[in-house]
Structure formats: C-alpha cells, structure tokens
Amino acid sequence: MREKAYAPYSNYEVGAAVETDTGEIIGGCNVESSSYGLTCCAERTALFRAISEGHRKFTSLAVSTENGGMPCGACRQVIWDLCKDITVHICDKDKLLKTIHASDLLPDAFDETFLK
Ligand code: THU
C-alpha cells in the first residue's frame, strides 16, 4: 500500500492494512491535499474503506512507513472508535518493528461510553 501513497507534499509514504473478523485484508494509503490539513492518513483511509465496504469488526491493523513512524493522534482516536483494543503492527519499509495494542496508543481514550 505504501507504493500507492499520494504524498507529493511531504514525500512521506504510508501504507496501512486492516484485517476483518472474516479474514479479509483491506488496505489504504495516505492521500495528501494542497490544503495540507485535508490530508487523510493511511490508517484512516484503510478503516474508512473497510467500513464503506460493510465491515464492522476488525482484528488487527498494520502500518508501514519508511522509518517506523507511529500513527498520529487523529488516527489513534479513529482506531479506538472503530476497532477498540485491536492488535497494531508497526513496520518500517522492510520488516515488522513491534506489535502493540490500540490501548497503548491511546490510554484513557474518549469514546462513545461518555456520550450515553
Ligand atoms: N501520515 C499517515 O498516513 N499516518 C500517520 O499516522 C501519520 C502521518 C501521513 C500524513 C501525511 O501524508 C504524511 O504522513 C506526513 O505527515
């Protein structure tokens, strides 16, 4: 998925893939905008794509960058909202660097339980 990244401004290419409870793997890449704040990260592209295709339960997420970059704050919130405490694999361009959980990325998360 990194090869599909549209990152002409940062040149920082990111790929992500989410695994569904039915064993499907759905990918996404970062898609940048000339109005930088409108950029969508690879993690959110993959998750929004999966949701759009009707998936609702996820078991793991993998993220790949050149140098092992970690998910940004916005993606941490969206991962928690849509996936709760799934396994997250962090990779660089060659290999798996570490495996963590969404709760490690966003401790004491805000979520829908506060809205009820
Ligand atoms: N990026 C991601 O795709 N995921 C992250 O979690 C961090 C940042 C992208 C956004 C932007 O296109 C580029 O990396 C540089 O910030």
Tens digit of each residue's pLDDT (9 = 90 or more) over 19-63: 999 999 999 999 999 999 999 999 999 999 999 999 999 999 999
Tell me which of 13, 19, 32, 43 is the catalytic residue. Answer: 43
CA of 116 to the centre of ligand 1 (A): 32
The CA distance from 8 to 41, in Å, is 14
Ligand 1 atom index nearest CA of 71: 6
Confidence category of residue 116, pLDDT binned at 50, 70, 90:
confident
Q: Is residue 71 part of a domain?
A: yes
Within-domain flag for 47 = yes
In a domain, 80, yes or no: yes
For 12-54, the DSSP string reads ---EEEEEETTS-EEEEE-B--SSGGG-B-HHHHHHHHHHHTT
Q: Is residue 69 part of a domain?
A: yes
pLDDT value at residue 31: 98
Measured between alpha carbons, how far is 76 from 71 in angstroms, rounded to an integer? 6
Task: Write down the number of H helices and E strands in the chain.
Answer: 3, 5
Residue 100 sits in a domain of what CATH number?
3.40.140.10
The two tokens of residue 52 are 């759009």
Rounded (10°) angle between helices 42-52 and 73-83: 30
Instruction: Convert the pLDDT of each residue in 99-110 to its tens digit.
Output: 999 999 999 999
Which band of pLDDT confidence, cut at 50, 70 and 90, is reported for residue 1? very high
Residue 41 included in any domain: yes
For residue 34, the model assigns a pLDDT of 98
**The domain containing residue 41 runs over which residues?**
2-107
Tens digits of residue pLDDT in 75-98:
999 999 999 999 999 999 999 999
